[in-house]
Amino acid sequence: MEINEWKKLLIPYEQAVKELKLKFENIQNEYRKLDEYSPIESVSGRVKKIYSILEKANKKGIPINEIEDKIEDIAGIRITCQFVEDINKVVKLIRERDGKDLKIIEEKDYIKNIKPSGYRSYHIIIKYPVQTAHGEKEILAEIQIRTLAMNFWATIEHSLRYKYNKNMPEYIHDRLKRAAEAAFILDKEMSKIRDEILKAQELFETKSNIVREIFKNIQSLYNISEIKEAGELYKKFLILWEEGDIKKLDEFNKKLDTLAGIYGVQKL
């Protein structure tokens, strides 16, 4: 194939990479604008180099006229996430678009089924329609979704694999396997931290809701002049607040609810 034919062939792939990258960046920006946590940490994309396409075609015995149907990653998008849990969210976001602006052809879960090299990542192969000057063209693209730790390992392993070109010394191979294990443990540790953060946020939310209810009750009781103990109740609340025991605060609030019921106080 002549260089001009390659150029023509790759144009829709370049367009697809640009469009898909922008679409995922838009999702990320939308979360950020709404002050919400974005499961997408970063997005990158590339069109496979001609020599890499030829190398892969050669390795897999794919004739040149079949590369567009048989090489799925001429267009590639990589989405990195902070936590393993975010990967599922991104996969869900992509599945929701299936049949809309893209078609899912295959999903490859190398997180459940780790590759012998130690490689972990979630791949989704899609068909994506591109509007070109010569009409619509549907191309194949690969979306790789992985954590920062998975990406770090894969980037290093990829460059070493190219450097040694199938002659990787055994000791480097072993080190990479151990590094893959370390990246796996790092992801697990980060997930535990994430759980702790979520639990702490939940606890904070519960506590602030109870305190808000207590304040409403005390304020309502204050508004009824006969209730002298409202001042005492406030003092009691301050003591419980100092203690910080959420259960005691909740019990106290329930007592206030009962008292408000007895006095027929309308909650504010």
- Using CB under 6 A as the binding rule, whether residue 95 contacts ligand 0O2 is answered as no
3-state secondary structure (DSSP) of residue 39: coil
Interface residue with ligand 0O2 among 108, 137, 194, 236 (CB under 6 A) is 108
- Taking the complex as a whole, the smallest distance from the CB of residue 91 to ligand 0O2 amounts, in Å, to 15
Q: Which is nearer to ligand 0O2, 56 or 173 (CB)?
A: 56
What Rg do the C-alpha atoms of the chain give, in angstroms? 29
CA dist 258 and 203 (Å) reads 24
3-state secondary structure (DSSP) of residue 170: helix
- Using CB under 6 A as the binding rule, whether residue 146 contacts ligand 0O2 is answered as no
CA dist 221 and 250 (Å) reads 18
- Using CB under 6 A as the binding rule, whether residue 188 contacts ligand 0O2 is answered as no
- Using CB under 6 A as the binding rule, whether residue 175 contacts ligand 0O2 is answered as no
Examine the residue annotation and report whether 142 is marked as an active-site residue of this protein: yes
Please report, for the chain, how many H helices and E strands are present, in that order: 8, 5
For the four alpha carbons of 59, 62, 63 and 64, in that order, the dihedral sign comes to negative
CA dist 200 and 204 (Å) reads 6
Report residue 114 CA to chain centroid gap. Answer: 19
Interface residue with ligand 0O2 among 79, 111, 123, 220 (CB under 6 A) is 123
Return the structure tokens found at 261: 């019921």
Which one of the spans 15-23, 96-104, 116-124, 176-184 is the region binding ligand 0O2 (CB under 6 A)? 116-124
Contact 14, 76 (CB under 8 A): no
- Taking the complex as a whole, the smallest distance from the CB of residue 107 to ligand 0O2 amounts, in Å, to 11
Contact 13, 74 (CB under 8 A): yes
Catalytic residue, candidates 142, 181, 189, 242: 142
- Using CB under 6 A as the binding rule, whether residue 56 contacts ligand 0O2 is answered as yes
- Taking the complex as a whole, the smallest distance from the CB of residue 135 to ligand 0O2 amounts, in Å, to 28
Q: How does strand 103-109 pair with strand 122-132?
A: antiparallel
Contact 265, 220 (CB under 8 A): yes
- Taking the complex as a whole, the smallest distance from the CB of residue 177 to ligand 0O2 amounts, in Å, to 11
- Using CB under 6 A as the binding rule, whether residue 70 contacts ligand 0O2 is answered as no
Interface residue with ligand 0O2 among 25, 54, 62, 119 (CB under 6 A) is 119
Q: Which is nearer to ligand 0O2, 69 or 226 (CB)?
A: 69
Residue positions annotated with a catalytic role: 142
Where along the sequence are the contacts to ligand 0O2 (CB under 6 A)?
Answer: 48, 52, 56, 73, 108, 115, 117, 119, 123, 154, 157-158
